Structure 1
Amino acid sequence: MAAETPPLPQPPCVAPDWALFLDVDGTLLDFAAAPADVHVEPGLVDALAVLHRRLDGALALISGRTLAQLDRLFSPLKLPAVGLHGLEQRDNGHLDLHRRAPALDAVLAAAQALAAKYPGALAEDKGTTIALHWRGAPAAEEPLHEFATSALIDLPGYHLQPGNSVIELRPDGAHKGAAVLSLLAHPPFQGRRPVFVGDDLTDEHGFAAVASHGGFGVLVGRRQPSAARYALHDPEAVRAWLDDAVAIAGDEQRRRDDP
């Protein structure tokens, strides 16, 4: 019988020389049955704004959501961000977007017809990708997997990206790790110690990217194996960890104001 992997330790507190990369669903936000149903906890936007200032702008959201969705969720905050696992990227006001494949419309229509047979399942149009969700309909997992695999015939240059109760049809050559490396090549992220916090298989690319630049990953949950060095139990623990960093930043500011 194989020995159980020991739990990972909790990460140190956020340091002012970090470049902090944060996944969203399952990391900052608790999962919901459908992506549109997630809830942003009170105080989270303010905490992110404080840490963004403390890190001199070196805090970015790295998500499978679109940039437009991220901006709606965290309004009025508009952070550096990577959307669609690297297919969209915004840094210092510059926006990069990938084009939609012509065949995607027909594949989406077929996916939506299939998902409609399983109440709670969802075929989500994400612009350049399609995400097939079954969190609200576990019985849909196998047929959605089979559909996604067969759809690759009509989408050359695409691959399947599995996730937490979701599988995504997405273009080759872009992932969270590549997006992180792109951000690290330029200010305000350049020259800082990179830290990536995420929960899903798609975040392993991010963990590897920050490790290659002297940083580390923080896994949310207990999924193993993982390239992360540290772990936090769930999104609530992530939010508490960020709140601790905000409190320390406030103490430091008070000491500067009252020498």
Structure 2
Amino acid sequence: MPDNISAILSASAGPVAIFTDFDGTLVEIAPSPDAVIVPADLPQRLERLYGALDGALAVITGRTIADIEGFLPHQDFSVTGSHGAERRHDGEIEDPDPDHIAGARHIAKALTHHLGEEAGILIEPKPTGVAVHYRAAPEKRAEVERIVERAVAGVSGFHVIEGKKVVEARPVGTDKGEAIRALMTIVPFKGRTPVFIGDDVSDEDGFIAATDLGGFGIKVGQGETAARFNLAGTAEVHAYLDALAERIAARAANQPAQSQEESMVK
């Protein structure tokens, strides 16, 4: 087992809650949002981890809940989508703020007007935000940033964030850190050590929140970060999650025998 995974497992000694990003963390980043390839063994891996953690597993993503349900159907873990503006917990989906929905539609209309015909630009409307992808036209970054900033300036309560070849408009006060803080107040997350795994600039809020709450972040890939640990890529993320689930299962299997030994000593 790589030393970095062993170190993370050592830090995950007690009951943990796992929060993880999707793109670039559980799956490889694709040329476009709908081109993501979900590894065949990922659903089973997440089901096993969810069981080992007694349900304390959540995907925290900039994608919509509908996107995650499309890529990973029939999963019971919690999902916080659109950077915290959407939430599914215990099978129930909370309705987004109507003002956020209206603001996102207004911004999407403006961006479609200015960028809808631009080659290599993909506009992705979300229930409470809009993402503009320029992965196929990286030379247009400055233009995209300028136009998104202008569109957001006319809508109260929204701001702009940047990610890997994407500029996104989202409601103020919704970020992955706040999503983690909210989930950590409810069962089955409450009382556990939070661990957040992510790869992008938008995940830094999550790393900070996990640290503030007594846990830590895991950065996937290189770059300056508030995360305590680093993993090279999605393969190492999968290896860590598998090792964590296996360790929890092994401890559970040994627990009855240990209890019997303790009673015999007494």
TM-score w.r.t. length of structure 1: 0.88
Answer with 1 or 2: which has the greater Rg: 2
Report the alpha carbon displacement of residue 230 of structure 1 after superposing the two structures with TM.
0.4
Greater shift in the superposed pair: 31-40 or 92-101: 92-101
Report the alpha carbon displacement of residue 119 of structure 1 after superposing the two structures with TM.
3.0
Write out per-residue CA displacement over residues 86-135 of structure 1, whole angstroms, 9 at most, x where no aligned residue.
00112223432222443543432342344444433201011110001011
Identical amino acids, percent of aligned pairs: 34
Corresponding residue of 2:19: 21
- Root-mean-square deviation (Å): 2.3
Determine if contact 2:107/2:152 at 8 Å carries over to the other structure: no
Corresponding residue of 2:194: 194
Unaligned runs of 5+ in 2: 259-266
| Match 2:53 to one of 39, 52, 55 | 55
Change (3 A) 1:256 1:43: farther
Number of aligned residue pairs: give it. 251
Q: Distance in 1 between matches of 2:212 and 2:33?
A: 32
Change (3 A) 1:78 1:115: farther
Determine if contact 2:193/2:213 at 8 Å carries over to the other structure: yes
Q: Give the number of the structure whose residues are more often helix, by fraction.
A: 2
Give runs of aligned pairs for residues 127-138 of structure 1, distance below 5 A: 127-138=127-138
Secondary structure of the equivalent of 2:238? helix
Counterpart amino acid of 1:98?
Answer: D
Give runs of aligned pairs for residues 1-259 of structure 1, distance below 5 A: 9-10=4-5, 11-13=7-9, 15=13, 17-96=15-94, 97-99=96-98, 100-224=100-224, 226-249=225-248, 251-252=250-251
Change (3 A) 1:141 1:76: same
Q: Distance in 2 between matches of 1:223 and 1:178?
A: 23
Write out per-residue CA displacement over residues 43-82 of structure 1, whole angstroms, 9 at most, x where no aligned residue.
1110111111111100000000111111111112132110
Q: Distance in 2 between matches of 1:176 and 1:182?
A: 10
Secondary structure of the equivalent of 1:102? helix
Report the alpha carbon displacement of residue 156 of structure 1 after superposing the two structures with TM.
1.4
Change (3 A) 1:176 1:66: same
Change (3 A) 1:146 1:78: same
Write out per-residue CA displacement over residues 186-238 of structure 1, whole angstroms, 9 at most, x where no aligned residue.
110000011000111111111111111110000001111x1110010111221
